Amino acid sequence: MLRADQLERFRRDGFLVLDGFVEGAACDALRARAEELVAGFDPPARPTVFTTDDQARKTDDYFLDSGDQIRFFFEDGALDDDGGLRGAKARSINKIGHALHDLDPTFDRFSRTPELEALTAALGVEDPLLMQSMYIFKQPFIGGEVGCHQDATYLHTEPEAMVGLWFALEDARTDNGCLWALPGGHRDGLRSRFVRDGRTTRLDVLDARPWGDAGLVPLEVNRGDLIVLDGLVPHLSHPNRSPASRHAYTLHLVSATSAYPATNWLQRRTPARGFRIR
Ligand SMILES: O=C(O)CCC(=O)C(=O)O
């Protein structure tokens, strides 16, 4: 599934771009299904926003209990001062999460393919569990920034064994908010942990050095490309101020052989599953 040079690059950089991993038609099917889900969603009077800016303070029950649900989070810039929607619902949603891959048959099919199972095995994730999925819209003009972070901050395992799969459902360029990553940054330790404490969350800082912009490289990709991210590699996306959306689908896998702490924000009432029915 992976050539030796690809695996070597993944180990060296902490990320790997796989061109054309998914057929364009599969990307379009996922986009169409996301559109249907949004159409069927009735937003509450005060929708929940997703932002990486002061996330702990903005955490609410709707977010905390979304680990095994399909829930909708809005762009910060989509709400007016009273918390109501400024524009059309379909152009206001930041993302859908976090169990699309378990609860929706279209997302389940996209997420559990022999190719992905083989890729995960080639990456060395032993007994993989599909812990989290997100459909990220990065809306035109108001798509919010995702600050520099390591995915293991949010999905920590002991020992660390987390891999992120980021599927480009549309072309992603610097002007519509593509991912940026820090080559080799996965070898510099975990900087913080986003911790659940009862019905609240907090960010525990383990290493206060700021990331800065130095060394980050843009990962410009086309529809159907897949970016594989080591759980420890720092990455970000800038705001999307362009007229083009930048839809992406992400899957986060952990290894069943690592411990999954009860202090991770994402807790499920139904156990996470791998690529096959257990
Ligand atoms: O898609 C994005 O803009 C950022 C996604 C990301 O960093 C993540 O899912 O960890």
Give the closest residue (by CA) to ligand 1 atom 7: 236
Residue from 51, 53, 146 to probe ligand 1 pocket by mutation (most atoms less than 8 Å from CB):
146
Residue from 75, 136, 150, 165 to probe ligand 1 pocket by mutation (most atoms less than 8 Å from CB):
136
**Overall average pLDDT of the 256-271 stretch:** 97
**In CATH, 4-255 is 2.60.120.620:** yes
pLDDT at 57 over 60: no
- What mean pLDDT value characterizes the chain? 94
Residues above pLDDT 70, as percent of the chain: 97
In this structure, are residues 15 and 225 in contact, taking their beta carbons and an 8 Å threshold? no
Name residues whose C-beta falls within 8 Å of residue 14's C-beta, 6 or more positions apart in sequence: 181, 182, 183, 184, 185, 186, 187, 229, 230, 232, 233
The pTM of the full predicted model, rounded to 2 decimals, is: 0.95
pLDDT at 278 over 50: no
Domain-wise residue ranges, the chain: 4-255
CB atoms near residue 56 (< 10 Å): 13
pLDDT tens for each residue of 217-257: 999 999 999 999 999 999 999 999 999 999 999 999 999 99
With cut-offs at 50, 70 and 90, classify the pLDDT of residue 77.
Answer: confident
* Residue scoring higher pLDDT (171 or 59): 171
What is the rounded CA–CA span in Å between residue 118 and residue 111? 12
